[in-house]
Structure 1
Amino acid sequence: MTETTTTQSRAHGVGLTDAAAEKVKTLLAQEGRDDLRLRIAVQPGGCSGLIYQLYFDERSLEGDAVVDFGGVEVAVDKMSVPYLDGATIDFEDTIQKQGFTIDNPNAEGSCACGDSFH
C-alpha cells in the first residue's frame, strides 16, 4: 500500500509519505526536541557498494537541500541528491515488518540482505 507524499516542493527529489511523517513526529516528540531534522544520505559500503543512512540530525551542512513535509524537515546533502532523486521514504507497521523503508528508482540492484544497493 503506497501513501501519498505530503509536500508540493521536492527540492531534493525525496518524498516522505504521510505514515513516515507521522512516525517521525512521534519519535521527535518522544525525544522532546524540536531542533532535529530527518537526514537521509548515501554512503559507500555494504556488499552492493552503497548504503542508506537515515537519522535525526541537528546540523545544517553546506549545500544541504531541505524540504519541510508538514512540520518534518528532511535534509539531503549535496553529494547524495543525485542518488536519491525520486526516492520515497515510507513507514511500515505490519505483522511482518516495522520500520522505515526507502523506495529508490535509482537503485539498479541490491544485495540479498537488502541493506545496500548499486
Structure 2
Amino acid sequence: MSISITQKAAEKVVEIATAEDLMGQGLRLRVIGGGCAGFSYDLYFEDKPTDLDETFEDKGIKLYIDPLSYQYLEGTEIDYVEGLHGSGFKFSNPNVKSTCGCGSSFSA
C-alpha cells in the first residue's frame, strides 16, 4: 500500500508550484505532534528526499515521507476540496481512529 493523490489535488499542486516557481520539487508530507486530536498533517514543497524517506510518485507528483510519519500515513489519499468553509488539501487516512472538528487533526 502507498500514498496517493487525486487528480484534483495533483492539478492544484502543479498550479501552486507554477505560481511559486517550484516546479520539479516534490511534496513533503509529514505528521507532526499537535492539533486538538494529537497529530496534524504538514505538507510543503521540498527539493529532494533524504536517504531515509519513503518516496512515491502519483499523477506526476513526487511525495516524500519520513519513516516516522509513514507509519501513520500508509494508505492515505490526498485530495483537494473547495467548499463554503474554505478550500484546502484533505487527507483520507485509513489509520485514523478519530478526528476533530477542524478536519486537520487526528489521533491514531
Q: Smaller-chain TM-score range? A: 0.7 to 0.9
Does the alignment pair 1:22 with 2:11? yes
CA distance in 2, matches of 1:113, 1:107: 15
Higher strand share: 2
Does the alignment pair 1:110 with 2:99? yes
Structure 2 counterpart of 1:65, which letter?
Answer: E
Unaligned stretches of 5+ in structure 2? none
Q: How many residues align?
A: 107
- The structural deviation recorded for 1:104 is 0.7
CA distance in 2, matches of 1:17, 1:33: 20
CA distance in 1, matches of 2:32, 2:21: 29
The alignment yields a C-alpha RMSD, in angstroms, of: 1.7
1:1-118 maps to which residues of 2 (within 5 A)? 13-118=2-107
Identity, in percent, stands at: 35
- The structural deviation recorded for 1:115 is 2.8
CA distance in 2, matches of 1:96, 1:112: 12
